[in-house]
Amino acid sequence: MELPCTESLRGASSFTCRRISCRQMQRYSQPLPNSSPGNEAGTGKRGEADSYEEPMKIDGTRKITSTANERIKSVRRLHKKKERDKTNLFIIEGHRELAAALESGIEVIEVFAHTDAVVDPEKIELFEGLEDSPIKITPVSKRVLEKISYREDSSGFVAVAKKPALSLERFPKVKDPLYLVIDSIEKPGNIGALMRTADGAGVSGVIVTGGTSDLFSPNTVRSSLGALFTLHIALAASVEAIAFLRRRGVKIVATTPSAEKLYTDTDMTCPTAVVCGSEDRGLETDWLDAADERVRIMMRGNCDSLNVSASTAVLLYEALRQRESAKKNR
């Protein structure tokens, strides 16, 4: 599946409440793939009555109401990782996540909006930045939106976007950076939660290694609450990531229950990378061998470790505490 490519909506960082204009809604006519000419809002069969609901036009654009529509099927297929990898596309659900994507310059190709969301004053403000953009807006029925949504509450919006470039070389050089390395973590919910924590702690970048993480799963996008779009993120092999950190003079801190040193006893005011690994297998040997320091979190109960999201939050916020304390003492 290939969707029509557009230029990204960059600079659309402010939105005000307004209704989608007829001019904006009529601007686009190019169908998604697998649609028959002159039938992009239908089911693939000319003249099928259930393709639209009355009134047939909303602000000048026909509303898709058939779940058998080929464009809707194309979006639905993006729920699968195989299709996302094949097309280099993914879906964004929810007005908060969509706003974060737009403000971060993510290349959004098309937005499918349920009528109620289009007239909702709290959400329509998203479309201010779309007034003169190349982004296509397609109104759909509630039933169609539910079909293409991965979660129960998409708050009226499902967008199709291109995956951004995720290269280490795109990381800006900053003084005393704090990086998070996510190694071989598979659960999308954990990855999204780690992104939120990284964003909250103000990390300089997130490096994802191991090849098993699905960054653009709908669950990852949702659980990150937009942090996936606001952070500097790179995908890399462990060897490549370690070499990158060495070139930038970054201390690698690995978390492992077997370490003798407590995390509070390591200095994280210098350039630091905190590495977290799979809860089942722990850190890969490459990272344990490369670590400048191995640290653990004190456990007083019967369990020997915390959930990866919780343990990473503990370390990142300790790093933040140390850095804020150092600023005050200068």
- In CATH, what number is assigned to the domain containing residue 122? 3.30.1330.30
Q: Verify that 268 and 173 share a domain, yes or no.
A: yes
- Note whether residue 16 is domain-resident: no
Alpha-carbon gap, residue 91 to 284, rounded angstroms? 31
Per-residue confidence (pLDDT) for residue 44, from 0 to 100: 40
Using DSSP, state whether 312 is helix, strand or coil: helix
pTM to 2 decimals? Answer: 0.79
Q: Nearest Cα to 116, choosing from 124, 126, 107, 106?
A: 124
Kindly report the backbone phi and psi dihedral angles of residue 276, in degrees, each rounded to the nearest multiple of 5, phi listed first. Answer: -120, 145
- Note whether residue 4 is domain-resident: no
Q: Verify that 112 and 174 share a domain, yes or no.
A: no
Backbone Cα Rg of the chain: 23
Q: Verify that 141 and 175 share a domain, yes or no.
A: no
- In CATH, what number is assigned to the domain containing residue 291? 3.40.1280.10
Alpha-carbon gap, residue 213 to 256, rounded angstroms? 20
Per-residue confidence (pLDDT) for residue 279, from 0 to 100: 80
Pairing of strands 57-58, 61-62: antiparallel
Q: What is the pLDDT along the chain (330 residues), one digit of tens a residue?
A: 444 433 333 333 333 333 344 333 333 333 444 444 334 444 444 333 334 333 334 345 688 999 999 999 999 999 999 999 999 999 999 888 998 999 999 999 999 988 676 566 667 777 666 666 788 889 899 999 999 998 877 778 899 999 999 999 999 999 999 999 999 998 999 999 999 999 999 999 999 998 777 899 999 999 999 999 999 999 999 999 999 999 999 999 999 988 999 999 999 999 999 999 988 778 889 999 999 999 999 998 888 778 999 999 999 999 999 999 999 987
Per-residue confidence (pLDDT) for residue 304, from 0 to 100: 76
Q: Verify that 71 and 192 share a domain, yes or no.
A: no
Q: Verify that 174 and 139 share a domain, yes or no.
A: no
Q: Is the dihedral of CA 206, 164, 154, 128 positive or negative?
A: positive
Range of the domain at 157: 22-162
- Distances in Å between the Cα of 246 and the Cα atoms of 174, 243, 272 are 15, 5, 11
Structurally, the chain folds into a number of domains equal to 2
Q: Verify that 30 and 157 share a domain, yes or no.
A: yes
Q: Verify that 132 and 33 share a domain, yes or no.
A: yes
Q: Verify that 155 and 92 share a domain, yes or no.
A: yes
Of the three residues 162, 193, 214, the one that is the final residue of a domain is 162
Q: Verify that 255 and 191 share a domain, yes or no.
A: yes
- Note whether residue 12 is domain-resident: no
Q: Verify that 190 and 322 share a domain, yes or no.
A: yes
Per-residue confidence (pLDDT) for residue 121, from 0 to 100: 67
Alpha-carbon gap, residue 191 to 201, rounded angstroms? 15
Q: Verify that 277 and 213 share a domain, yes or no.
A: yes
Q: Verify that 180 and 152 share a domain, yes or no.
A: no
- Note whether residue 119 is domain-resident: yes
Per-residue confidence (pLDDT) for residue 37, from 0 to 100: 39
